[in-house]
Amino acid sequence: MATVEIKNVRKSYGPVEAIKGIDIAVQDGEFLVLLGPSGCGKSTLLRMVAGLESITGGQVVIGGRVVNDLDPKDRDIAMVFQNYALYPHMSVFDNMAYGLKIRGVPKPEIETRVAKAAEILELGRFLTRRPSQLSGGQRQRVAMGRAIVREPAAFLFDEPLSNLDAKLRTQMRIEIKRLQDRLGITSLYVTHDQVEAMTLADRILVMNHGVAEQIGTPLEVYQRPASLFVAGFIGSPPMNVLDGVIDASGQGVVMPGGALLPLPRPRPDDANRPVKLGIRPEHLTISDGLAASPILVELVEALGADTVVYGRLPDGESLLIRMAGLPSCTEGDQLSVAPQPGALHLFDAAHGRRLAD
């Protein structure tokens, strides 16, 4: 068990800079999720921690040791891959034992450690089987077993659930969470799935174009997204983003349709400033009044527990509304909706950063 510190780490491929300086200290026993769209550099960052990619600049420190120039095997980490990467010709037992064998761990200890891991992962019955005789979920458990038996300083997960079907993914997600709670090993977990990130993480590092957009707990990232990118990436259905202008008094925001939305606190300094306005679909309700905007209902998705309404504002902007329960409107209806008080997110219109609350 150990801390993992990433200090101003950079990665360049020739003139192309893939990681533009990331700083984060992962606490002992913490579960950090690296979240971002494909190509954002999250896997590259993880692979630099693992030692599978060279580090162009900065330092990676695991358990107080700078590991930049160490081989993966000397970094005291274990990694779980997306396609499991099990050795096809070895039994489940041998797959888990291989790393220990190479390190010269005595046989009886290998057996106890593998047996223990197999028990935790409920793989006891499969120890003599080959990976090809297992289902996807079982294979991924073997891959995790291979990591557990090593008792490493840190676990690295590279999209471990992406190859599984939706149901199995949910199940394995819970298993990983339980496992990490039980073992308390520092974990770095790469995913592009925000549900995985929200449910597993102690903290989330949201990445985009090789830059850390935001580092925070899942709720921080959801409730106070640091940029338009994070706002759009976290939450499903995604946050509505509209153009608005802070009114002359600094008391509210004027929407394109003329609706006036009151601000949580007055912003006299920002009077007449154009902003991007973020409203989560679940924070819109049907109501009248000054803050309300008329919308035309274009599509209604009834999901059972809640309903997603695709509406269009008079100026042509689309607006998503998520309502609890069964639909109360149909396509073609005219509704009047307003955001709940205090549920507005304000972003700078030019660079998309969140305005100070």
Q: Which residues bind another protein (CB under 8 A)?
A: 50-52, 71-73, 77-79, 81-83, 85-89, 98-99, 102-103, 130-132, 146
Q: How many CB atoms lie within 10 A of CB 194?
A: 20
CA distance 300 to 307: 7
- Nearest residue (CB) to another protein, 71 versus 357: 71
Nearest to 41 by CA among 6, 86, 71: 6
- Nearest residue (CB) to another protein, 76 versus 333: 76
Extract the tokens encoding 161: 């659930």
Q: Which stretches of the chain are DSSP H helices?
A: 42-50, 92-102, 107-120, 136-148, 166-183, 194-200, 218-223, 228-233
CB of 62 to another protein, least distance (A): 13
Q: Can you say how many angstroms the Cα of residue 131 is from the centroid of all Cα atoms in its chain? A: 29
- Nearest residue (CB) to another protein, 132 versus 330: 132
- Nearest residue (CB) to another protein, 131 versus 218: 131
- Nearest residue (CB) to another protein, 172 versus 284: 172
CB of 150 to another protein, least distance (A): 8
Q: How many helices (H) and strands (E) does the chain have?
A: 8, 20
- Nearest residue (CB) to another protein, 36 versus 131: 131
Using CA atoms of 229, 54, 16, 23 in order, give the dihedral in degrees to the nearest 10.
Answer: 40
Which residues fall within 8 angstroms of residue 69, CB to CB, at 6 or more apart?
Answer: none
CB of 315 to another protein, least distance (A): 49
- Nearest residue (CB) to another protein, 130 versus 177: 130
CB of 142 to another protein, least distance (A): 11
CA distance 11 to 64: 22
CB of 72 to another protein, least distance (A): 5
Q: What is the DSSP string of 8-28?
A: EEEEEETTEEEEEEEEEEEPT
Contact 144, 86 (CB under 8 A): no
CB of 102 to another protein, least distance (A): 4
CB of 147 to another protein, least distance (A): 9
